[in-house]
Chains A and B, each alone.
Chain A
C-alpha cells in the first residue's frame, strides 16, 4: 500500500510540475532578426541521395551566411496533407522562404494562399508570382557518367535501376545509354523499374536481377545506395546518382552525376533577403556548377577519364549536346533529325521535360 501511495504522490507532483512549467514557459524566446529559410525533403535528410544533396545545399547556405540566416529542414514530408501542415507551421514560425525539394509539393493555388512567403520548388514547372522552379541539366552529367559505365563494361550489357516512367527518369536513362554507347559502341542498357524513389530493398533486388541477367556494370536513377552495395558485394562497377556515394561501394564506385544545390540556394536566399527575389524557371548546368561529376573511383581508366574530360569541355563550350539529333527510338525510328537540339520545355514529347520514349539500345518499356 505504501509504495502505491508513494507512486501516486510522485505522479501528482510530476503532473503539477509539468502543467506549471508548460504554462509558465508561455513567453517563448523568439530568435533574433535572422532571415528564416526552410527546406522540405521528401526523404530522410541523410538518405545518401536526393534529399542529402539538398541538405548539403542548406548547410552551405548556413555556413556562408552564418547568423544572418536561420535555416531548418523538414524530412520525410508527404506530398499533400503533411506538406500543407508543415508549411502552415513554418509560416507561423516566421519562415519567409521555403524550398520544396520535390515535385508535387506546391502549385500556384497553394502558393497563392501564402502571398507573403516565397516558394521555390525543385523539378517542377508551375511558376507564379511567389513560386519559382529550379533544376539542373543532369542529363549532361548523367551522359558523362554513362561514358564511364560504357568504358568499364566488357560485354556491353549494362543494368540501370530506375524509379518511375516519367520524363525526368526517361531523360536520364536515355542520356546514360547515349554516353555508354559512345564509349562502348553497341552497348545495351537494361532497365528495371522499382516504382519508388527510395526503396533500398527493391533497388537491391533490381540490381540483383540485372546482374543475374548478365549486366557487368550497374547504374541508377533512384535515391539509395543499395544497388551500389550489391555491386560492391559481387565486384561489379557501379554508377550512382544524386550524391557522392563512393563510401558505400569504394571498390565498385565509378562516378555519378551529382547536383550542387548550394550555390543556387545561396544566390536565392541572398536575393530574398535583399528584396530582389524574382520568380522564374531556373535550369542550371555544368557551366554554373549546378551539376557535375562526382570524383572517380578506381575502376575508371585514364583513357576513359581523358575521353570524358573532352566531352565535358565540349558540353561546356556548347559544341556538343547528347540530345542533338540524329536520335533514334527503341524501334529504330528517327525521332530527332540531324543537327536539331532538344529544348528543355518546348517540343512536347521531343523536349527534355516531355520525353516519353527511350533511345535505341535501351531495353525496357518507357511505360514502366
Chain B
C-alpha cells in the first residue's frame, strides 16, 4: 500500500473548520487511550478539564491570566511568520517590554500623574522595549542575512538574564530595596496604584474581571488584520513572504519591510510584557521561577500556527490554549502526574497542528497513484 500527500488545488471552506474539530476529537480519543492505560477515567478527566478551564466559578478569570499573554505572543509570532520572518524571540521581547513598561510605570506613576497617562506611557514603553529587542535580529537579518531564527532565539536567554539581573543580582531601579522583606528575598518594586491597569468587571461566573491587556490584545488583532488585509504595507509583506524575488521585482524595499515587520512583531510581544506588569504582577517579575518559567513566548508560536496567522483566530486559539494551560494546573496532583497532563496537552496540540497538513494536502491511499484531473502536480518549491 502506498500513502501519498498531494497538495490541494482548492481548499474547500468547510475543511478549514472541519479539520481542526476532527483533529481535536482524534486527539481526545488518542489521549483517552493513554488515560485508560494509566488508570484514569477519560470522561471524568475531560469533564474536569473543561470545568476547570471554562465552566466552574472563577475559571474564566484564571484562564484569561494565561490567555492574555498568549494572545500577545501569538499575534507577535503571526505578524512575523506571515512574512516568513521566523521571529522566535517573542519570549525575550516580552521580557524587554515588561522591563520598559515597569520603568515607565514606576517612574511616571511615582510622580503622581493621571492614571490614563501613566498606563498609556507603559503601553508605549512596552512596545518600544519589545521593538528594540526585535530590531536586533531584524537588522542582522536585513543587512547581514543572519538567520533570524537563531539570533532571536538566543536573545531570549540574554533578555532572561537581564530580567533576573535587575531583580536578583543588582539593586536596580526596578528592585524593591526598602523594608525588611526586601533584605530577605529579592522582589520587584511595587507599582504605584495609578500605574496598575484596571479590569472590566463582567457579571459572569459571579464576577469576572477582564484584564485591560486582554482588550489591548483584541485591539492589536484588529489593527493587525487591517494592516495585513487592507493596506499596501500588508500586501507587500505578504508578497515578500510568498516570493522574495517577485517582491523585489515589484519594487518592494525588502530591508525596510523586514525591519518594519520585526519591529511590529516585537512591539506586540513587548505590549504583552507591559501587560504582565500592569495587569498581573504589579511589579517587574524577575523571579526565575516566575514569568520566565511560563514560556508564553514559545507557546505563542503554537498559538499562531494553530490560528493560521489569522489575528482573530489567534486570539480565539489563545483563549482555548489558555484554558488548557489553566486546566492543567487543576488536573495535576498526587494521583495525576504533571507529566501526564503534559502528554495530553501535547497530543491535543500535535493533532491540531498535524491536522493543518490535511487542509492543504490530500492523502491518497492506494496501490497506484491515479492520475486524474483533480490532482495538481506538486509545484516546484
- Residues of chain A within 8 A of B242, CB atoms compared: none
User: Per-position contact with A for B346-377: 1 when CB-CB < 8 Å, else 0?
Assistant: 00000000000000000001000000000000
- Residues of chain B within 8 A of A349, CB atoms compared: 183
CB distance from A18 to the nearest CB of B (A): 6
A330 on the B face (CB < 8 A): no
CB distance from A150 to the nearest CB of B (A): 28
Known: A103-B185, A367-B169. Contact between A11 and B26, CB under 8 A? yes
CB distance from B33 to the nearest CB of A (A): 11
Known: A85-B62, A123-B185. Contact between A25 and B43, CB under 8 A? yes
**CB-based contact B181/A165 at 8 Å:** no
| Nearest CB in chain B to that of A24: its residue | B43
Most chain-B CB neighbours within 10 Å: which of A71, A78, A89?
Answer: A89
**CB-based contact B62/A88 at 8 Å:** yes
User: Per-position contact with B for A1-29: 1 when CB-CB < 8 Å, else 0?
Assistant: 00100000001001100100110111010
**CB-based contact B287/A80 at 8 Å:** yes
CB distance from B365 to the nearest CB of A (A): 8
CB distance from A281 to the nearest CB of B (A): 11
A270 on the B face (CB < 8 A): no
Query: Which one of B44-52, B115-123, B138-146, B262-270 contacts A?
Result: B44-52
- Residues of chain A within 8 A of B62, CB atoms compared: 84-85, 88-89
- Residues of chain B within 8 A of A58, CB atoms compared: 334
Residues of chain B in range 282-327 having any CB-CB distance to chain A below 8 Å: 285, 287-291, 293-294, 325-326
B198 on the A face (CB < 8 A): no
A200 on the B face (CB < 8 A): no
A197 on the B face (CB < 8 A): yes
**A-B interface contact total, Cβ < 8 Å:** 151
Residues of chain A in range 272-297 having any CB-CB distance to chain B below 8 Å: none
- Residues of chain B within 8 A of A82, CB atoms compared: 293-294, 329
**CB-based contact B50/A22 at 8 Å:** yes
Contact for B184 among A22, A88, A89, A354, CB less than 8 A: A354
A102 on the B face (CB < 8 A): yes
For the complex, give the distance between the alpha carbons of A93 and B56 in Å: 10
Residues of chain A in range 16-49 having any CB-CB distance to chain B below 8 Å: 18, 21-22, 24-26, 28, 42, 44
Contact for A26 among B47, B280, B289, CB less than 8 A: B47
- Residues of chain B within 8 A of A86, CB atoms compared: 329-330
**CB-based contact B57/A92 at 8 Å:** yes
B338 on the A face (CB < 8 A): yes
A321 on the B face (CB < 8 A): no
**CB-based contact B28/A18 at 8 Å:** yes
A152 on the B face (CB < 8 A): no
CB distance from B325 to the nearest CB of A (A): 8
Tier of interface size on chain B: 35 or more
B159 on the A face (CB < 8 A): no
Most chain-B CB neighbours within 10 Å: which of A11, A85, A166?
Answer: A85
A235 on the B face (CB < 8 A): no
Known: A345-B180, A353-B184. Contact between A11 and B44, CB under 8 A? no
- Residues of chain B within 8 A of A166, CB atoms compared: 168, 184-186
CB distance from B123 to the nearest CB of A (A): 20
Known: A72-B334, A80-B280, A89-B329. Contact between A126 and B291, CB under 8 A? no
A214 on the B face (CB < 8 A): no
Most chain-B CB neighbours within 10 Å: which of A28, A79, A126?
Answer: A79
**CB-based contact A195/B289 at 8 Å:** no
Contact for A25 among B47, B59, B164, B332, CB less than 8 A: B47
- Residues of chain B within 8 A of A80, CB atoms compared: 280-281, 285, 287, 290-291, 294
Known: A103-B185, A125-B180. Contact between A11 and B57, CB under 8 A? no
**CB-based contact B333/A78 at 8 Å:** no
Known: A22-B50, A367-B169. Contact between A81 and B65, CB under 8 A? yes
**CB-based contact B288/A196 at 8 Å:** yes
**CB-based contact B287/A79 at 8 Å:** yes
Most chain-B CB neighbours within 10 Å: which of A80, A104, A354?
Answer: A80
| Nearest CB in chain B to that of A103: its residue | B185
User: Per-position contact with A for B43-76: 1 when CB-CB < 8 Å, else 0?
Assistant: 1101110101000111101100110010000000
CB distance from B17 to the nearest CB of A (A): 15
A74 on the B face (CB < 8 A): yes
**CB-based contact B330/A89 at 8 Å:** yes
B335 on the A face (CB < 8 A): yes
Contact for A126 among B32, B181, B365, CB less than 8 A: B181
A253 on the B face (CB < 8 A): no
**CB-based contact A75/B57 at 8 Å:** no
B156 on the A face (CB < 8 A): no
CB distance from B40 to the nearest CB of A (A): 13
B223 on the A face (CB < 8 A): no
- Residues of chain A within 8 A of B170, CB atoms compared: 367
- Residues of chain A within 8 A of B294, CB atoms compared: 78, 80-82
| Nearest CB in chain B to that of A365: its residue | B169
For the complex, give the distance between the alpha carbons of A204 and B181 in Å: 32
**CB-based contact A25/B338 at 8 Å:** no
B29 on the A face (CB < 8 A): yes
For the complex, give the distance between the alpha carbons of A354 and B280 in Å: 28
**CB-based contact B335/A72 at 8 Å:** yes
For the complex, give the distance between the alpha carbons of A81 and B183 in Å: 24
For the complex, give the distance between the alpha carbons of A348 and B180 in Å: 8
**CB-based contact A88/B58 at 8 Å:** yes
B194 on the A face (CB < 8 A): no
**CB-based contact A18/B25 at 8 Å:** yes
Known: A18-B43, A88-B62. Contact between A167 and B184, CB under 8 A? yes
Known: A11-B22, A84-B65, A104-B290. Contact between A75 and B47, CB under 8 A? no
**CB-based contact B333/A74 at 8 Å:** yes
User: Per-position contact with B for A157-178: 1 when CB-CB < 8 Å, else 0?
Assistant: 0000000111110000000000
Enumerate 26 A-B pairs (CB-CB under 8 Å) in ascending A order: A11-B22, A28-B47, A74-B329, A74-B333, A79-B293, A80-B281, A80-B291, A80-B294, A81-B66, A85-B65, A85-B326, A89-B329, A92-B52, A92-B330, A93-B330, A103-B185, A124-B184, A125-B181, A125-B185, A164-B169, A165-B168, A166-B185, A168-B185, A195-B168, A367-B170, A368-B169
The 3 A-B pairs at the shortest CB distance, nearest first, are namely A78-B293, A89-B330, A354-B183
Known interface pairs A89-B326, A125-B180; 13 further A-B residue pairs with C-beta atoms within 8 A, sorted by A's residue number: A42-B289, A58-B334, A72-B335, A79-B287, A84-B62, A88-B61, A89-B329, A103-B185, A165-B169, A166-B168, A195-B161, A345-B180, A354-B180
